[in-house]
Amino acid sequence: MSRHGQRGSSLPETAIVLGVMLMILFGIIDFSRAMYTYSFVADLAREGARWAIVRGSQCTALDHCNAQSSDVQTYVQNLSEGLTTASGTTATAQWPSLGACAPAPKAPGCLVTVTVTYNFHFIAPFVSKAILPMSSTSQMVISQ
């Protein structure tokens, strides 16, 4: 076979391989961003629950004593940084009234549950319109 028949054959091969390599690279970058964001959302839920357990019904020395769900939401949104945005972060706090906690759900020894949600947006061109909802819940016992 002559060399003239193979001229330019490497160009389509390079384009195909380069396209596949770029798709893999963008996939790795987006997966890494998603894992980082989920880790941050889980940390926000833990921080929100920790903030709420020291602001129960018997709290006297801290700001926002006897905290409401809106107070927890504001606190969690103020912690948003990095890949998350404050406006896209939602936190809900609940004080289940179970057993001895029924008359006073924010008393010491009762539970607080904080759920943080965030919608993750991909940057890869082939999934740029996709949204991955992320959510994490943390539950702790009120100390004050």
Spell out the per-residue pLDDT of the chain, length 144, in tens. Answer: 556 666 667 888 899 999 999 989 988 999 999 999 999 999 999 999 999 999 988 888 888 888 899 999 999 999 988 778 888 999 999 998 888 888 888 899 999 999 999 999 988 877 778 899 999 999 999 987
Give 36-69 pLDDT, tens digit per residue: 999 999 999 999 999 999 998 888 888 888 889 9
End-to-end CA distance of the chain: 86
Phi, psi of 115 (to 5 degrees): -115, 125
Q: What is the pTM of this model?
A: 0.83
Pick from 6, 29, 9, 5: nearest CA to 17 = 9
